[in-house]
A and B are shown apart, each in its own frame.
Chain A
């Protein structure tokens, strides 16, 4: 009888322990809900299955370099490099407020497979100087060339990412933007990219 009681107690203890072991973003925050300007509702949370493992592309350790080389922390002088929580902050602040864009710099075929919720796809190739239509994109980002020279005072804050620390596409896009005159103070870089985002079990969305 005493043994039974002990067993029950220990079971209850483990059950309560398991339910308390939410996989949270931070000790204080379990998940973040963000409403974007266009009415889109985002929830950023982590996969709650503690035994979950990645089984996709992002488990690879040894992609050949070049081209998949380790990127530096800084994508360009003056461009801030951020982590996952800052990405969520950016979504909640700048993106929801309509002053910023979270940019997936990968090619569309990667974007459609899954991306960070709330991001828009601006592939690095579209920002290269050899794209004759790049100015259309710069304008869509809020820049203006009405006076003959580019004016970025109304341009949006951008946070760029790609597949991960071994992916040069976001740094390349950052360099292209800086080369086009985009102010470095308006550009941020999330170096972890999809690999680290997914490794932390963070929410991935399929663009519609």
Chain B
């Protein structure tokens, strides 16, 4: 009884409060900028802006520097003259695409990458996984080299036999003041005879030993305090695609294999350390059975280095 009475008495008050609330809400919807943008976003999603930039490989620079800071990689500042790296800065990319329908270009890039990589990169998630997995294996590979060296030295202290090592041969020849071409011939002959073991990363597309990178690596190791070379992006065969979405920027990096290239050489040029060939190999595993199976003209996906920290 009293309830009904109360209700009736309060009804005008309730209505007044309700009206006031509705007014405020309406005002908020009409005036608040956030309300507008939300409406905009749902109505017309921001178009994907696609640009092709031949400028810096941002991710690469940042990440390899932080890797450096972590002490995982020590690079050298200059590429010696004897490395096979070509100094021509003829960027193999063109700034275009403004006219193209962005979505189509994005799709094309992805499809091309997928085709090249044997359909290994259907979406961002997979790419990220591949990249991080490969990166995880990368410092490890540098570790593997030193691990192997320490194992070998440990085994040698136990036994008298000393298998001739490629690096030792090269160092010996360098001490004798031999020319690069002599070293190249000697290493290739020793490799053909099976006297030395050539890491598959140092096999060129033509099946020769990439002595240029080998020498550069030896120099790098002998001078670990030298600075890291700036990652090269203006080089022949290097192609960078920057795909910008509403909330993220993704870099697609590609490298087209040039005559005389080995995976080690490419890694040396791009990451400043031949040991990173593994990253490239992992990212292109679908169409590279072995690291020494690269072919001239092959377009390799170059993952960005990521730090786990």
The number of residues on chain B lying at the interface, defined by a beta carbon within 8 Å of a beta carbon of chain A, is 27
Q: Quick one: CB contact mask for B163-175 with A, threshold 8 Å, 1 for yes? A: 1010000000000
Q: When chains A and B are docked, how far (Å) is the Cα of A139 from the Cα of B195?
A: 11
8 A Cβ contacts from B134-179 to A: 137, 140-141, 143-145, 147-148, 150-152, 154-159, 161, 163, 165
Q: When chains A and B are docked, how far (Å) is the Cα of A134 from the Cα of B199?
A: 9
B140 to chain A, nearest CB (A): 8
Q: Which among A22-30, A122-130, A164-172 touches the partner chain?
A: A122-130
Interface contact A126-B155, CB-CB below 8 Å: no
Q: When chains A and B are docked, how far (Å) is the Cα of A125 from the Cα of B158?
A: 20
Q: Which of the residues B151, B278, B291 comes within 8 Å of A121, measured between beta carbons?
A: B151
Q: When chains A and B are docked, how far (Å) is the Cα of A159 from the Cα of B183?
A: 39
Interface contact B157-A141, CB-CB below 8 Å: no
**Is A66 positioned at the interface, with any CB of B under 8 Å from its CB?**
no
**Is A108 positioned at the interface, with any CB of B under 8 Å from its CB?**
yes
Q: When chains A and B are docked, how far (Å) is the Cα of A100 from the Cα of B157?
A: 14
Check A146/B150 contact, CB under 8 A, given A130-B137, A136-B165, A139-B163. Answer: no
Check A134/B148 contact, CB under 8 A, given A121-B154, A141-B155, A145-B194. Answer: yes
CB-CB under 8 A from B194, the residues of chain A are 145-146, 148
**Is A8 positioned at the interface, with any CB of B under 8 Å from its CB?**
no
Interface contact B152-A38, CB-CB below 8 Å: no
- Among B144, B156, B278, max chain A CB count under 10 A is at B144
CB-CB under 8 A from B296, the residues of chain A are none
Q: Which of the residues A98, A120, A137, A146 comes within 8 Å of B148, measured between beta carbons?
A: A137
Q: Interface majority SS on B: helix, strand, loop or mixed?
A: helix
Q: Which of the residues A101, A123, A137 comes within 8 Å of B158, measured between beta carbons?
A: A101
**Is A135 positioned at the interface, with any CB of B under 8 Å from its CB?**
yes
Interface contact B148-A136, CB-CB below 8 Å: yes
Q: When chains A and B are docked, how far (Å) is the Cα of A125 from the Cα of B165?
A: 20
CB-CB under 8 A from B145, the residues of chain A are 133
CB-CB under 8 A from B158, the residues of chain A are 36-38, 101, 120
Interface contact B152-A137, CB-CB below 8 Å: yes
Interface contact A133-B144, CB-CB below 8 Å: yes
8 A Cβ contacts from A14-68 to B: 36-38
**Is A5 positioned at the interface, with any CB of B under 8 Å from its CB?**
no
Interface contact A139-B197, CB-CB below 8 Å: yes
Interface contact A121-B199, CB-CB below 8 Å: no
Q: When chains A and B are docked, how far (Å) is the Cα of A185 from the Cα of B123?
A: 47
* Chain A, Cβ-Cβ closest to B193: A146
Q: When chains A and B are docked, how far (Å) is the Cα of A38 from the Cα of B200?
A: 34
**Is B201 positioned at the interface, with any CB of A under 8 Å from its CB?**
yes
CB-CB under 8 A from B141, the residues of chain A are 132
* Chain B, Cβ-Cβ closest to A154: B161
Check A137/B144 contact, CB under 8 A, given A130-B137, A132-B201, A146-B194. Answer: no
* Chain B, Cβ-Cβ closest to A134: B148
CB-CB under 8 A from A135, the residues of chain B are 197
Interface contact B200-A137, CB-CB below 8 Å: no
Check A122/B197 contact, CB under 8 A, given A132-B291, A136-B148. Answer: no
8 A Cβ contacts from A107-156 to B: 108, 120-123, 125-126, 130-137, 139-142, 145-146, 148
Q: Which of the residues A36, A132, A140, A148 comes within 8 Å of B152, measured between beta carbons?
A: A140
CB-CB under 8 A from A140, the residues of chain B are 151-152, 155-156, 159, 161, 163
CB-CB under 8 A from A148, the residues of chain B are 194
Q: Which of the residues B155, B157, B161 comes within 8 Å of A122, measured between beta carbons?
A: B155
CB-CB under 8 A from B155, the residues of chain A are 101, 120, 122, 137, 140-141
- Among A101, A132, A137, A141, max chain B CB count under 10 A is at A132
* Chain A, Cβ-Cβ closest to B194: A146
Q: When chains A and B are docked, how far (Å) is the Cα of A122 from the Cα of B151?
A: 5
Interface contact B157-A123, CB-CB below 8 Å: no
* Chain B, Cβ-Cβ closest to A98: B159
Q: When chains A and B are docked, how far (Å) is the Cα of A136 from the Cα of B159?
A: 14
Q: When chains A and B are docked, how far (Å) is the Cα of A130 from the Cα of B197?
A: 15
Listed A/B pairs (22) with beta-carbon separation below 8 Å: A37-B158, A37-B159, A98-B159, A108-B150, A120-B151, A121-B150, A122-B155, A125-B140, A126-B144, A126-B151, A131-B147, A132-B144, A132-B199, A132-B200, A133-B144, A133-B148, A136-B163, A137-B152, A140-B155, A140-B156, A146-B194, A148-B194
Known: A37-B159, A132-B141, A140-B159. 19 other contacts (CB 8 A): A36-B158, A98-B159, A101-B155, A120-B155, A121-B154, A122-B154, A123-B147, A125-B140, A125-B144, A126-B147, A131-B147, A131-B148, A132-B291, A135-B197, A136-B152, A140-B151, A141-B155, A145-B194, A146-B194
